[in-house]
Structure 1
Amino acid sequence: MDASSALLMTLGAAALLISWILLLIVSWKDDYAWGLFSLLLPPAGYTYGLFRLDKAGQSVLLAVLGWALIYLGW
C-alpha cells in the first residue's frame, strides 16, 4: 500500500467516524429510541438517516463521501 492509498483510506475512515457521530447527535435530538438504535446498531442509524434526509442529510452525505474515499484508496 502506497502513501496515497493509505491517506485516502484514513480520510475515508475519519469521514465515516465523523458522520456516525453527527448521526448520533441528530438521532438523539429527534428521538431517544433512534439514538439508542444508532449507537448500538450503526446500520439502523443510517437507515434512519435515509428516511429523515431533512435532518440527517449531512451525515449521510459525509458517509457516502467516506465510502467513496475508501473505495478510491483500495
Structure 2
Amino acid sequence: MSRSKIIAILTGAISILLAIAYLIVVQILDYRDMKPAPTGELTMPIATQMRFNNGGSQNLKQKSMFIIGETNI
C-alpha cells in the first residue's frame, strides 16, 4: 500500500469517528427535551448613581460615582 493511500484511509477513519462523536454529543444534549435552564440562582446587575458635593459651595462641580450591585430575580 502506498503512503498516500494509508493517509487517506486514516483521514477517513478520523472523519467517521468525529462524526459519530458529534452525533453522540447531539443526542446527549437533545436528551434534555428542550427544558429551559434553571433560573433560581440568576442575578440581575443594578447600577445606581451617587453625587458628591465637595465642600458646601454650590460653585464647585459635583462628582458622580456609579455603584454596581446585584439582586436576585
TM superposition score normalised by structure 2: 0.41
Pick the structure with more strand per residue.
Answer: 2
Q: Tell which structure's C-alpha radius of gyration is larger.
A: 2
TM superposition score normalised by structure 1: 0.40
